[in-house]
Structures are given as C-alpha cells and as structure tokens.
Structure 1
Amino acid sequence: MPFLSRSPLFAGLPRRLLARLATRFFEKTYHAGDVIFEEGDPGRALFVIVEGSVAITRATPKGPVVLNTLGPGDAFGELALIDDFPRSASAQQATDGRLFILYKSDFDALMEGNARIAMVVMRNLARQLTLYARRAPVFPGAGPEAGAPL
C-alpha cells in the first residue's frame, strides 16, 4: 500500500515490512463534517489519510480552534499506539475522503513479532513529537513578553 510509504511515521521501513504492516489496517470512507474522534475520547487507533483532508481541533472557551489540517499520507492519532490517555484533540473530516485505520491491539500484536517495525515507528514517532513540541507555544494566547526572562 503506497499510502504507508508516504507517511513520515513509517519512513525508513523496507517494502517487505510495510506490506506486513499494511495487512493490519482497514479502510473507512468519511464524508465532510464527519467526526472521527472527539477530544477526551479513548485513544484506540491510528489513522492515515488516503484521500481528502482532516481538521485537527481543540476546544477553547471561545469555541474550537483548528490546530492543523492534514492531507494524504499524513497520520494522526499516533499517540494511541503508545499510551492509554484520552484524545488531546478532536479530528473531523474536512472533505470527503478515505482513511486507513490501525487499532492499537493490532499494532501491539505486530510489534511482538517484529522488533524492527517497532523500532522504526517509535523513532519516527519520537521525531514527530519533538517537532510538535518545538512548534507549540509555551503559553498559548500570551504575548511575546511571556517569553521574557523573569
């Protein structure tokens, strides 16, 4: 499945291992406006966009704020693969599209039998989390003076 090779989460995996991983995914069609998951829901699956776009939002007192809009090849919900925390944001289909979904239980079963997949995916996940952390504002909504020394 070429969609996996385009996803940064699976970068560096040889075709043979990508093919093995792909057998664990299933496809689902979503329509514009469909809610994929809500902030606070249990995280049970990873999603990879095959077609269409998905808006990642977070609730604020002034209403939802779009954190990111993702497109084909992008993965989201990846923290569900490593922790049991509730979703930290909501995901809504922005345009009609198709997603490939991997449940945590299927990912765990595959990892038990293949350390190489686990190592590559975890390294890529750590890289993505580092990038997210570097881009995230320390004090959202605060002015530039919030970063001044005390």
Structure 2
Amino acid sequence: MYHIASEETYHHGEIIFKEGSSGDWIYVVQSGSVEISKTIQGHKYVIEVLETGDIFGEIDFLGGTERIATARVIGETTVGIIDREFLDQEFNKISEDFRLILVAAAHRIKKMTDRATEFTARKEPRVSKVLPVMFKFGDTLIKGYLGNMSTWGLFIQTDNPLKPGHKFSLKLNLPGIKETLTLKCEVVWTRIRPEGPQRPNGMGIKFRDIDMKDYRILKQYIKEQGTDEKEQ
C-alpha cells in the first residue's frame, strides 16, 4: 500500500524520534506498537498508541516543523520508512493552492495538539495564593497579583495584561522558600475586563521552561499548600 524505502526494527522502550528534534520522515507501523506522547513540565502525556498499518510523522513532513511529539516503541516493533523521493514527487504533483491548504492544516493540527495537551496538563493540582508579582517586559513594568498556580502555569491578575504569545522571564519568591524560582513564561490567554468577582482581569500563563530543581520546589510547595479547583 505504501512505497517503503527501508525498514527498521526497535526493541521495547527505544525511541524512534524525540519531540523537538528535526526530521520529516514518514513511518508506517509494520508490526508491534508505537506510543506517541508529549512532555509538559516533566510530565509525559500519551496522545495515542499506534498499531500495525498506522502512519506517523506526517504532520512534520507536511508542515516542515520540528517533531511535535515523541515516538517510542512498545515491545519488539518494526516500522517502514516511506520513500521520501516518492513523497516529494507526489506532493509536487498537486496544485500550489492545495499544497498550501495541506501545510496550513498541518500547522493547525499541531497547534490543536499542543493546546489539547496543555489543557490536560491543567488538570494537575493547583493552589490559589495571592502574592504580589512584578516584572519587566521590555521597557514596561508589569505589576499584579499571582494566583491559581500549578506546575504547568499560573494566573496573574493585572490591569495591564500582555497579549497572547508574549514571552518573558519571571523571578518568583514563594513564602517560606529561600530559593528564587526562575520561570520562562508565555501568555496563553488574556482577560481585559473582569467577569465577576471570581474572574478578574489578567492573563493566563504557561511555563515554557523550568529548571528541574525549581520544578521540584514548586511541586512540593503546591502539595504542602493544598489544592484549589477554582478556575480563574
């Protein structure tokens, strides 16, 4: 059914490719199983387990992006690599408009996968702790209050929320913790106007990167404070 250029056999637990790595080969499972997963703040979230006949890696080929997930084999597994020259020839046969549609669809699927995984990560324990926070974004000094915090991200109540997609670094000092946590953040959503007493104006933040030591400190702090399931 597919034009297979070569085959590779992996043992249980071996990685075919890692999330964030380069590469645009498309694979098909010949035998065995392949687990597709994403990692957020040190936690693995399994997206799908592929069986014989399933293909993977196609989003990276179409979108020209880095690998959007990790592919790990379960048990003894053989995968076929679909002939790249054949794929390029077939892809170039279709109209430019349709190629653009496919590329746009691949990027949208990647974004939807990222958002869905992040939403799952938000189900982790959170704690509402009102703490003053202040940081600089360019030449602008942002002041507000921190709350609804998890190992995934936090909410900052502020009259001057940044736009979604803006990235910044945050130095966080938690009560009773000597170490200052360094968090690389990105704005996911913004609320310009309050929507009732429990939904003030501000911005939802996800952690783009956090040192493992800081992550453990934050996780322990949240555990000791107890959890709060309220949304902000």
Q: TM-score, normalised by structure 1?
A: 0.61
State which of 19, 26, 29 in structure 2 corresponds to 1:49: 29
Higher relative contact order (CA 8 A, sep 6+): 1
> Which residue does 2:119 correspond to in 1?
139
The CA deviation at 1:64 is 2.2
Considering only aligned residues, what root-mean-square deviation do their CA atoms show, in Å? 3.6
> Which residue does 1:4 correspond to in 2?
none
User: Alpha carbons of 1:140 and 1:111: their partners in 2 closer, same or farther (altered >3 Å)?
Assistant: same
**Unpaired stretches in structure 2, ≥5 consecutive residues:** 124-194, 200-232
Aligned length: 121
Q: Secondary structure of the residue that 1:67 maps to in structure 2?
A: strand
Structure 1 or 2: more strand by fraction:
2
The CA deviation at 1:115 is 4.0
Q: Which whole-Å CA distance do the structure 2 matches of 1:24 and 1:47 have between them?
A: 9
User: Alpha carbons of 1:105 and 1:40: their partners in 2 closer, same or farther (altered >3 Å)?
Assistant: farther
Q: Secondary structure of the residue that 1:79 maps to in structure 2?
A: helix
> Which residue does 1:77 correspond to in 2?
57
Q: Which whole-Å CA distance do the structure 1 matches of 2:66 and 2:44 have between them?
A: 17
The CA deviation at 1:48 is 0.9
Q: TM-score, normalised by structure 2?
A: 0.42
> Which residue does 2:77 correspond to in 1?
97
User: Alpha carbons of 1:138 and 1:44: their partners in 2 closer, same or farther (altered >3 Å)?
Assistant: closer
**Unpaired stretches in structure 1, ≥5 consecutive residues:** 2-21, 144-148
The CA deviation at 1:80 is 2.4
Structure 1 or 2: more helix by fraction:
1
Question: Which has the higher Rg, Structure 1 or Structure 2?
Answer: 2
After superposition, residues 24-63 of structure 1 pair within 5 angstroms as: 24-63=4-43
User: Alpha carbons of 1:67 and 1:96: their partners in 2 closer, same or farther (altered >3 Å)?
Assistant: same
State which of 35, 47, 52 in structure 2 corresponds to 1:67: 47
User: Alpha carbons of 1:82 and 1:54: their partners in 2 closer, same or farther (altered >3 Å)?
Assistant: same
